[in-house]
Structure 1
Amino acid sequence: MNKSVNLDDITISKRALNLSENSSLDEMADALQIQQQGVWPLYNENAEGLKQVKVKTFHYAHCTMKVQFNPARIKSSAAKVDTKSISARKCFLCTDALPPQQKGIPFNDEYLILVNPYPIFPRHLTIPRLEHVPQLIEPYFRDMLELSRALKNYTVFYNGPKCGASAPDHMHFQAGNKGFLPVETEYNKLKDTSDRKLFSNDHLEIFAVSEYQRKFIAIESDDITLLHTAFGWLYELLEQRHQEPEPMLNILSGYENGKWRVLVFPRDKHRPDQYFAEGDENILLSPASVDFGGVCITPQEKDFDKIKASDLTDIFAQVSVNDSYFDELCTAYAKRMVE
């Protein structure tokens, strides 16, 4: 954070949001989005534009996937995230770079909850750390869990620096209203039918899903320290495959009925071949957490019109880890949990 910026100038109070002092963070976040629509034309235009976005749905044997045509997301999908491009631009998540209309809600004196000016969800937040530090999950995973507990009506998500983050130089989370992602509504069935129960006791459950167009490991717990430890062990195993700057992964986290639910999607590739292809073969789709959750974002209408169910199968097969590695990972993780 630029030390010359007064945080009081960019934060907004409950009174300014027309809320009582005992209002929850969920209520504040919802009210912030209404307030920002009233004062920030860019955000209002894109938030209103969500009402007209095109969506189509593909049905597979074990899941549903949606494709959203959202032209405002071109900035994220086409973002240049190489070191040279990052160093040549000003960080748009630092407080001194925020538009004058943009206000936020402080969280734990370490984060600022902001509306995402290019929303995918009806209620979409970006949550950067106040200081300019790299996008890395290991030091801040517990923060993600605390955010999930405070924002009970939201799913909090993390995109790795090479897994969809358009600002890999500045640590941040995002959050969207619960119930939007297909994986949320399909989760219980996946859990009940999974044949990969990796660990279970009174306070911790871990299982894996592979027959879902993309693979993930789910960790559930009512104990934040236990969950943090279980994730750390998984992270260590993933490091054996990718170490720089961190294992390739996307994470979805939610809190409900006194329990956290964390989905970890291991990855093997940032962008699929279609992203770089020429002519008719080109599809500008750069999968991140929302896409892995079942809503794929196409900022170009030509891609939305032509994309097929088989294209999504191929794209996620490329960016996800292969079957052999996932089997090895699940076996090693189950073994690690009982040691």
Structure 2
Amino acid sequence: MSKSKLEISVREIIQQQKQVWELARINYLGLEKVETKAFEFDGFKIVAQYNPERIRSSAAKTDAESIARRACFLCAANRPAQQQGVTFGKQYTVLVNPFPIFTEHLTISLNTHLAQEIAPYFADLLQLSKQLTDFTLFYNGPKCGASAPDHFHFQAGSKNKMPLDSEIRHVINKWGQLLFQDEHTSITALGRKYLRNLICLISDSEQELIHHFKMILNFLNEAETADEPMMNIVSRFENGQWIVVIFPRRQQRPQQFYANGSDQILISPASVEMGGLVILPRKEDFDKLTPDDLTDIYRQVSVGDEVFEELKDQIKMKR
């Protein structure tokens, strides 16, 4: 399959930035030294990555007061002179993320300083997924891992680096509850057997995906008090279909993040963690992490079972 013009341009800017931007060059070289280890569960795995450069994101202060005190690092006027990007339409600039998790890690920033809110931009996520077929796209809600909740953006990383990418079809076939299916779209719910409550939409129809996503968002809006319901979204396009996974959330960070002494684990789950790649910026946390820790952390941050059951009922009734 031939690559889109956007994908070709993105690959060129990745190489250019690694050569001319010292911060990016050093941090991408540093990925060669990150440590990883896999935890095997029943038919799936969670991969932990020790990545000290991600401390800025994992420990970021995202309260309104802290955001107001700092300049927005996604606004063009505040970005480093060396940070160059590729335009996507008139609204977005595709940037190389200088603090990478993946060997190819992008931040796709809205050109206007508007808050993180998925509803007006979900169709853009689908279009980006279709044009960047070697990448997995993801969205972090303003209270679910976005280190810049004041400036709308997506991120993208090398496809098949998160366990979710290679596991999703297998685990929904094994444990999923089919909520809806027609000739274009299937909607499946997957619960605690995968540690995380999630909804998976697979479709070759952009319009159907938009319709079903609005329905899910509307229900979660009714169940939440915040302006945007807490969620992470992971999206990719392959073999003529979108695979969109929605992780409804109830908590930004687990109690381990706030604990003292040896009980603390500095982890702030976002889309990548919900996708099974757990980023730990401190070596002591990487060394002591256990499967029981992971099970408990996911239980805390994933949407509660009662709300999840209500969401499934809504999808079955209002599809």
For residues 26-41 of structure 1, the aligned pairs below 5 Å read: 26-41=7-22
What per-residue deviation string (whole Å, max 9, x for no partner) do you get for residues 196-253 of structure 1?
1000010111001112011110111111111101100000111122141200000001
Q: CA–CA distance in 2 between the matches of 1:180 and 1:225?
A: 28
Residue from 259, 273, 276 that aligns with 2:258: 276
2:61 maps to 1:110: no
The aligned residue for residue 238 of structure 1 is: 220
Aligned partners of 1:332, 1:110: CA distance in 2, in Å?
33
What are the ranges of 5 or more consecutive residues in structure 1 without an aligned counterpart?
Answer: 1-21
Q: Is 2:307 the partner of 1:325?
A: yes
CA contact (8 A) 2:223 2:307 kept: no
Q: Quick check: 25-34 or 144-153, which moved more?
A: 25-34
8 Å Cα contact 2:144-2:270 kept in structure 1: yes
Residue matched to 1:336: 318
Which residue is equivalent to 1:147?
A: 128
- Residue from 56, 65, 75 that aligns with 2:46: 65
1:255 counterpart residue number:
237
Deviation, 1:194, is: 3.4
**Aligned counterpart in structure 2 of residue 214 of structure 1, from 193, 196, 219:** 196
Distance 2:111 2:151 in 1: 9
SS at match of 2:194: coil
Contact 2:4–2:131 (CA<8 Å) still a contact in 1? no
Residue identity in the other structure for 1:284: L
Give 1:193 deviation, angstroms: 2.0
Q: Distance in 1 between matches of 2:83 and 2:227?
A: 31
> Aligned with 2:247: secondary structure?
strand
SS at match of 2:313: helix
AA at the equivalent of 2:13 = L
**Aligned match of 1:173:** 154
Unaligned runs of 5+ in 2: none
Greater radius of gyration (CA): 1
Instruction: Write the distance in 1 (CA, Å) between the matches of 2:15 and 2:232.
Output: 29
Residues in 1 aligned to 2:106 and 2:79: alpha-carbon distance in whole angstroms: 14
Q: Which residue in 2 is equivalent to 1:185?
A: 166
Counterpart Cα distance in 2 of 1:317 and 1:184:
21
- Deviation track 1:24-62 (CA, whole Å, cap 9, x = no partner) reads 322221221111011111111110000110001101114
Structure 1 position 257, deviation (Å): 1.6
Structure 1 residues 134-181: Cα deviation after superposition (integer angstroms, max 9, x where no partner) = 000001111111111111111110000000000000000000011111
1:229 — aligned with what? 211
Distance in 2 between the 1:56 and 1:259 partners?
31
Q: Deviations over 1:78-121 (max 9, x none)?
A: 10000000000000000001111110000011000000000001
Pair 1:293 & 2:280 matched: no
Q: Deviations over 1:290-330 (max 9, x none)?
A: 00000000011111111111111111100011222212211
> TM-score, normalising length from structure 1?
0.91
Cα root mean square deviation, aligned: 1.1
Is residue 55 from structure 1 mapped to residue 36 from structure 2 by the alignment?
yes
The answer to whether the Cα contact below 8 Å between 2:221 and 2:227 also exists between their aligned partners in 1 is no
Secondary structure of 2:315's aligned partner: helix
TM-score (norm 2): 0.97
Aligned AA for 1:93?
Answer: L
Q: Distance in 1 between matches of 2:103 and 2:116?
A: 25
Give the match's secondary structure for 1:251.
strand
| Bigger shift: residues 96-105 or 191-200 | 191-200
Large movers: runs of 4+ above 4 Å: none
| Pairwise CA distance, 1:195 | 4.2
Q: 2:66 — aligned with what?
A: 85
Equivalent position of 1:265 in the other structure:
247
Judged with a 3 Å threshold, the aligned counterparts in structure 2 of structure 1 residues 253 and 195 are, in CA distance, closer, same or farther, namely closer
Distance 1:37 1:66, change over 3 A: same
Q: Partner letter of residue 257 of structure 1? A: N
How far apart are the structure 2 equivalents of 1:244 and 1:328? 18
Partner residue of 2:295 out of 313, 326, 333: 313
Matched, 1:99 2:85: no
Moved more, 277-286 or 240-249: 240-249
